[in-house]
Amino acid sequence: MVPNMSIGITLFSIPLTIGVYILSLWLFKKRPSVFTMPILFCTVVIISVFMISGISYEQYGVAKEIMTYLLGPATVALAVPLYKQREMIKKNALPIMVGMMLGTIVTIGSALAMAVWFGLSDVMIRSLSVKSITIPIANEVAYILNANPTLVAGFVMITGMFGAMFGSVLLNIANITNPVARGLSFGTMAHGIGTAQAMNEGEVQGATSGISIGLAGIFTSIFLPWVLPLFLM
């Protein structure tokens, strides 16, 4: 690719991504809906723009890397609500641990059971098993399980999107109102993307979700290599 073209695409892609995100926040405040949530709205709009303009994912890569680099500070920023809610976390340490472990076991077990029921291949089963943990941990666990990194990334993103889009609705239907329980559900089932939605609900939900991301990732990396062989041919 011509260097000037690459620079031009990067300079176009970064403001586009930020602008669409700001627009989605404004729309969501005006018209709260699953369809105006940033995670869905931004994905659809940006992909549509790139398809119309002919920009490929590889060309978007430089801009993506620049913005992805900022995920580090953003992730560290999750420690702020954790610190503010440290007394609440200490008080609810046992329920959080038990809920996280049970939630992780259920999400892994249900995913593996459905994969086997639909007759998916071993590589699909391996890749699907880590769908509910954050991508940095999922990628490392994927190597241990001999899963496909591309499939893992796709399953993790889809799970996070559905968790963020429908998590609040399903929790409301189930009449789960406790902020600790709601935050735990988002973090355990829908990792970082779900945590963003939990933060929108409140600081307690965000803090609980944030801590459950790490705990679920650690528990999954220990538990899954032992249970996965039971579901493979």
Q: Residue 5: which pLDDT band, with cuts at 50, 70 and 90?
A: low
pLDDT range class, residue 140, cuts 50, 70, 90: confident
pTM of the model: 0.76
Question: Is a pLDDT exceeding 80 seen at residue 143?
Answer: yes
Tell me the three-class secondary structure of the chain, residue by residue: CCHHHHHHHHHHHHHHHHHHHHHHHHHHHHCCCHHHCHHHHHHHHHHHHHHHHCCCHHHHHHHHHHHHHCHHHHHHCCHHHHHHCHHHHHHCHHHHHHHHHHHHHHHHHHHHHHHHHCCCCHHHHHHHCCCCCCHHHHHHHHHHHCCCHHHHHHHHHHHHHHHHHHHHHHHHHCCCCCHHHHHHHHHHHHHHHHHHHHHHHCHHHHHHHHHHHHHHHHHHHHHHHHHHHHHCC
**Per-chain mean pLDDT for the chain:** 85
What confidence score (pLDDT) does residue 64 get?
79
Which residues are CB-contacts of 183 (< 8 A; sequence separation ≥ 6)?
Answer: 198, 201, 204, 205, 206, 207, 208, 209, 210, 212
pLDDT at 175: 92
- Polymer length of the chain: 233
pLDDT attached to residue 173: 92
Statement: residue 105 has pLDDT above 80: yes
pLDDT reading at 1 higher than 70: no
Max mean pLDDT among 39-43, 94-98, 197-201 falls in: 94-98
In this predicted structure, the answer to whether residue 69 has a pLDDT above a threshold of 80 is no
Lowest mean pLDDT, pick from 1-10, 101-110, 117-126, 157-166:
1-10
Asked if 147 and 129 count as a contact pair (C-beta separation under 8 A), the reply is yes
Q: Does position 81 have pLDDT exceeding 70, yes or no?
A: yes
19-60 per-position pLDDT tens digit: 998 998 899 888 887 788 887 888 899 999 999 988 888 888
pLDDT at res. 4: 58
Q: What's the start-to-end Cα distance of the chain, in Å? A: 45
Q: What average pLDDT does this structure show over 150-174?
A: 87
**pLDDT confidence of residue 45:** 92
Q: Where do the domains of the chain lie?
A: 3-69, 79-231
Residues 6+ apart with CB under 8 A from 233: 122
At 147, list the tokens: 């899963």
